[in-house]
Amino acid sequence: MTTRHLVDPELAPMLERFPELHLSRETLPQARAALAGMTARSAGLLPAFRHIAVTERRVPGPAGAPEVRVLVYLPENAPRPLPALLWIHGGGYVLGSAADEDQLVKAIVVAVGCAAVSVDYRLAPETPHPGPVEDCYAALKWLHGSAAELGVDTGRLAIGGASAGGGLAACLGLLARDRGEVPLAFQLLLYPMLDDRTVTATDPHAHVGEFIWTRDGNRFGWTALLGHEPGREGVSPYAAAARAEDLAGLPPTYVGVGALDLFLEEDMEYARRLSRAGVPTELHVYPGAFHGFDRVPRARVSQAATRDYTDALRRAVRPGA
């Protein structure tokens, strides 16, 4: 059975262009190289964002770990202090880099009027949990501690990411809440990868996960991050945020996901639980949309999604703007 007939027609061309991923330890180096090559080839073809200063920094990493590479985005000539977004890239916990989402981050900076710091966390399986989320926490602490230097308002810090980046952002939100060192104003979770138990579901949703990020890819990503088969008892909520028993006290949250995305039900359930825990929560489900659909900028459903999440972030960190 195929779900192709359910795909929004404006999104369908992406399925012809995007290579099918068959991830394994053997194919992972080639997949990483292919993704890096795609990023490099597209760099000169994409529209330029003027008046954004981008710098590369190396910030202190977790105890006993290497420094963390971050990209810092500061809009020029914008009044200080600025709200700031810590952005975490996607890639199933095993792929990607901050550079891959450079255009996306710049678009958010322009649309919202904020600073941003994008994190190059260490990837699994070479660095399993807790390395990736601790790298993100180290970057968040650096952002908070460097607020005066960067011209950032520590009362208006948000975290966010897409796919695995959204999953790490959700875990980071829990970690920041529990450590009590960095206050957060908002978390922006775009089709986040939240629950390793989706891999082992006995009654999986029949109409999700056919395209872009599949069940096989999901199993590989979770296994790489956890260091064992997903679905076991005792998985840390700082690795899989859906495992958290208590969601109270988290910052206001936006969750957006496509109706054909493998993560549909885990994302809807997380939003439901956030709401039940008293967390102001905004949930959007986009019909005809598969994983990563918003990377088709001319599709109306992608434009709607982009407008929805940038509006939500702007309302959270620039009230009244």
pLDDT at position 209: 95
Q: What is the mean pLDDT of residues 8-25?
A: 89
- Burial string for 54-76 (b: 16+ CB within 10 Å, else e) reads eeeeebebbeeeeebbbbbbbbe
Both structure tokens of 147: 């607020």
Both structure tokens of 251: 């910052």
Q: Per residue in 40-58, pLDDT tens?
A: 776 655 677 889 999 999 9
Query: Helix and strand tally (H, E) in the chain?
Result: 9, 8
Residue 38 has pLDDT above 80, yes or no: no
Q: List the CATH number of the domain containing 33.
A: 3.40.50.1820
Residues recognised as catalytic: 163, 261, 291
Mean pLDDT across the chain:
95
Question: Is the whole-model pTM more than 0.75?
Answer: yes
Q: Per residue in 221-231, pLDDT tens?
A: 999 999 999 99
- Beta pairing partners, 162: 190
Q: Per residue in 231-272, pLDDT tens?
A: 999 999 999 999 999 999 999 999 999 999 999 999 999 999
Q: Per residue in 113-158, pLDDT tens?
A: 999 999 999 999 999 999 999 999 999 999 999 999 999 999 999 9
Residue 75 has pLDDT above 70, yes or no: yes
Q: Residue 158: which H helix or E strand, with range?
A: strand 152-162
Q: Which domain holds residue 232?
A: 4-317
Q: Per residue in 279-310, pLDDT tens?
A: 999 999 999 999 999 999 999 999 999 999 99
Q: Per residue in 154-211, pLDDT tens?
A: 999 999 999 999 999 999 999 999 999 999 999 999 999 999 999 999 889 999 999 9
DSSP state at residue 28: H
What's the helix, strand, coil split of the chain in %, to 5? 40, 20, 40
Round to whole Å and give the CA distance between 63 and 74. Answer: 28
- Coil, strand, or helix at residue 281? strand
φ/ψ of residue 4, rounded to 5: -55, -35
Packed helices 300-317 and 102-112: angle between N→C axes, nearest 10 degrees: 60
Q: What angle do CA 236, 239, 241 make, to 5 degrees?
A: 85
Query: What order do you get walking across the sheet with 52-59 strand by strand?
Result: 52-59, 68-75, 115-120, 82-88, 152-162, 186-190, 253-258, 281-286
Q: Which of left, alpha, beta for 319 (phi over 0: left; psi -120 to 50: alpha)?
A: beta
Q: For the chain, what is the domain count?
A: 1
- Per the CB < 8 A criterion, the answer to whether 222 and 230 are in contact is yes
In single-letter form, the type of residue at position 97 comes to: S
- Beta pairing partners, 253: 187, 281
pLDDT at position 39: 76
Both structure tokens of 151: 């011209």
